[in-house]
Structure 1
Amino acid sequence: MKKSLVALAALAVAGVASAQSSVTLFGVVDATISSFSNKSEGALGRDVTKSQTVLRNSGYNSSRLGFRGTEDLGGGLSAGFWLEGAINNDDGTGAAGGGGLNFQRRSTVSLSGAFGEVRLGRDYTPTYWNDTVFDPFGANGVGTNLIVTANGYNNPGSVISQGGFIQNTTYSRASNSIGYFLPPNLGGFYGQVMYAFNEKTSYDPGALTPPTAAAIVNNPALLNTAGNERAGRYVGGRIGYANGPLDVALAYAQSTIASNYYAGTTNNLDTWNLGASYDFGVVKLFGEYSNAKQKQDTSSGIVAGATNPFGFREPGADGWLIGATVPVGPGVIRVSYSAVEYKNTGTYINQLFGFRPDPKADKFALGYVHNLSKRTALYATVARISNKNGADLTVGGPSFYTTTNALTGTLTPKSSTGYDLGIRHSF
């Protein structure tokens, strides 16, 4: 009798808990056959093409596995968590970097109420949302717009070799972040702000920052890696309005991508973008403009002076996109045209006298998604990039062949073509 009462009590407690909280397992498994062909133009009229065909993942939606849950705390408050990791279903290695599953796509805990939502952990940055929401291809596969490819600065083919761009590790996501989201009952207005800590160690007095000033005097090469105490910080926000067929949003952020205590420099990447979409029913139109500038703040360093003594503008990139989706029966046609132009790349002399025109590239992408059900779809995408003036953007695959030799002469990145043929299943 006592055992029966204990069992009934346990069931009652479990029923209350399940009514107040929920945990969901979710994911996407996306596999695609992808082919790439990247051609370099030779000065002697002999082109060199590097090609590759692979089976990979995430051609339509990013493959992932996640857990999310909420708990009703009463009084209009709720707590939530979200743990989401990338999976490589093409080879079964789990996380994007190989090895076991991690939760680097998103790992957050949050508190929500009438005030909105406060979210802590690793999350998408406000500026990245416009790049993916207002792209018909959603920043996946060979169709991904050039704004995403270029403004990440840490992706293959981002003109890093063309003149001074520094990798931006907080382009799409930022770790160690605090975010705030407006409540959803503001008549269509939405927004978020985010601050991400760099978690670096600071020294007072600053001359004790490793490597020390004395060590740099003995080995000047250490200056280039000394005191990167501000890199990794991110601060940004996004404000938008969505009502009926219209969605428009503006975002701005500053990412600290490098610093050097001894040289007295801090490099920030300032980014702003404006995107919009409008659904006419028979067609949905997309558009976005993006501007990114790498700025360097300079003070009198302990060992070296200013690295930008003449005050020339730092490198940057302007990008734009127009696109559309057209529903056709159980499927949808996707199309986009995007372009990017780099500014102020190369040396001061190039900038001063215009010896080198600005690198630029444009891209056309066309695709079709056939929905077999709400969770399963077949898709096909083809895309082509044309590079000019030294730009080296690709749709994926191997880098351009640029080694100068007697057979080809000087080689310049020219075009990149690719396609995806795949299947996506979500659960």
Structure 2
Amino acid sequence: MKKSLIALAVLGASGFAMAQSSVTLYGVADAGIGKIEAGAPAGNDASDKTEFISGSLMNNGNSRIGVRGVEDLGGGLKAGFNFESGLDLDNGNNLGSGGGFWGRAANLWLGGNWGTFKMGRTLNTSFYGIVTWELTGAANYSVVGNTYNYAGGGPRSNSQFSYKTPNMGGFSAELGYILKPDNGDRAKWDVNAIYANGPIGVGLSANKVKSGKTNYALGGKYNFGNFALAGSYTTAHNAANAKRRGFSLGGTATFGAASLTLDLTRDTKNEWTGKKYTNGLVEAKYALSKRTFVYGAFLRLDDTNNYGIGVRHNF
């Protein structure tokens, strides 16, 4: 009887603790078949041959496994973390996405009614501004992301401190900062301003590394129901401060479980390659369930032709 009472007390205490915090395991499995020309900024699977693809330019996304948690500290204050690791379904190797084992995410945060303060490796502030209006949900084959490298800053940053405001009727803003010793002796700031409410999504992204030039992207999307239209204008610089500038225009049509996207970019200036390009993406998706879909995509990127057909499952 005594042991039973102790066990009940332990279970009761445990249940209280679990009610105050939670840890979630999640992930993505994405693989298919495709061809990626070696001249594209393709990373994995760039061989000019039709082959199995995973974690490549022509996958919808990288396979990954992650863990995130949140604890209610009381008084409206919460603490949380996110660790996420990439996975190559070719052979089971780790894909660091530019970082180490937890290269997709390794951060912690504090949040409340006043907003959220985050520290660590994370998707950067400019990326979130672009995702507000980008038509593919920032797929690996995003023509805007690949043409202008997410406003010249890439999708992720190490050692970033950031503050995000609470959502105020659809408006929010976020400021990220990386200290000088953490970024090759050059401090970096990164900011976005977003309006996302109902059918409208507008995002402004800007970032700058000390002694570099300011990158920015401004885009918007309007969802008419079964059709969404998006457009943007971007000025981006590479590490040598060479400029690439241009605009995008595209749309997505939805037919029940199926969707078709056409997205185009056009350079108005391109010092990265010395030649102005018109790049384009055609993407088709069909949802098999809320968590699983099949897709096919063709990407014309700076004189390279790339395609992929695959399956993505979210868990």
TM-score of the two chains, using structure 1 as the length reference: 0.66
Structure 1 pair 146/247, CA: closer, same or farther in 2 (3 Å)?
closer
Structure 2 counterpart of 1:376: 292
Q: In 1, distance between residues paired with 2:129 and 2:4?
A: 57
Asked whether 1:196 is paired with 2:196, we answer no
Q: What is the CA deviation profile of residues 267-302 of structure 1, one whole-angstrom value per residue up to 9, with x for unaligned ones?
A: 414201101111000201111111124699xxxxxx
**In the alignment, which residue of structure 2 is the partner of 1:396?**
none
Name the counterpart of 2:101.
102
From 305, 308, 312, the equivalent of 1:417 is: 305
Give how far 1:137 is off.
2.6
The answer to whether the aligner puts 1:149 opposite 2:150 as a matched pair is no
What secondary structure sits across from 2:128 in the alignment? helix
Give the deviation of 1:66 after TM superposition: 0.6
- SS at the partner of 2:18? helix
Question: Which residue of structure 2 lines up, in the alignment, with residue 290 of structure 1?
Answer: 234
Letter in 1 for 2:231: G
1:215-364 matches, cutoff 5 A: 230-231=185-186, 233-256=187-210, 267-293=211-237, 315-343=242-270, 358-364=274-280
Does the 8 Å contact 2:23/2:67 carry over to 1? Answer: yes
SS in 2 for 1:383: strand
**Distance between the aligned counterparts of 1:229 and 1:271, measured in 2?**
18
In structure 2, the CA distance between the partners of 1:74 and 1:336, relative to structure 1 (3 Å rule), is same
RMSD: 2.7
SS at match of 2:7: helix
CA distance in 1, matches of 2:184, 2:256: 55
Q: Which residue number corresponds to residue 66 of structure 1? A: 66
AA matched with 1:90: D
**Cα pair 1:130 1:251 within 8 Å, conserved:** yes
SS of 1:112 mapped into structure 2: strand
Bigger share in strand:
2
Pairing partner for 2:161 from 178, 187, 191: 178
CA offsets 1:28-82 (integer angstroms, 9 cap, x no match): 000021113579xxxxxxxxxx832221224113321111111111111111111
In structure 1, give the amino acid aligned to 2:185: R
Which amino acid in the other structure matches residue 280 of structure 1?
F
What runs of 5+ residues in structure 1 fail to find an aligned partner?
40-49, 154-167, 201-227, 257-266, 297-313, 347-357, 386-392, 394-414
CA distance in 1, matches of 2:68, 2:14: 19
CA–CA separation in structure 1 for the residues paired with 2:246 and 2:26: 34
Matched letter for residue 112 of structure 2: G
Structure 1 residues 191 and 14: CA distance shift in structure 2, 3 A? same
C-alpha distance in structure 2 between counterparts of 1:365 and 1:254, whole Å: 28
Structure 1 CA distance, aligned partners of 2:5 and 2:147? 62
Higher relative contact order (CA 8 A, sep 6+): 1
TM-score after normalising by structure 2: 0.88
Contact 1:333/1:367 (8 A) holds in 2:
yes
Question: Gapped runs of 5+ residues in structure 2?
Answer: 40-46
Equivalent residues in 2 for 1:2-41, closer than 5 Å: 2-37=2-37
Identical amino acids, percent of aligned pairs:
31
Residue in 2 that maps onto 1:91: 91
State the AA in 2 paired with 1:317.
R
Paired residues for 1:209-220 under 5 Å: none
Q: How far off is 1:182 after superposition?
A: 0.7
In structure 1, what is the equivalent of residue 53 of structure 2?
Answer: 56
Count of residue pairs the alignment pairs up: 305
Give how far 1:144 is off: 1.9
The 8 Å contact of residues 97 and 103 in structure 2, kept in 1 or not, is answered as no
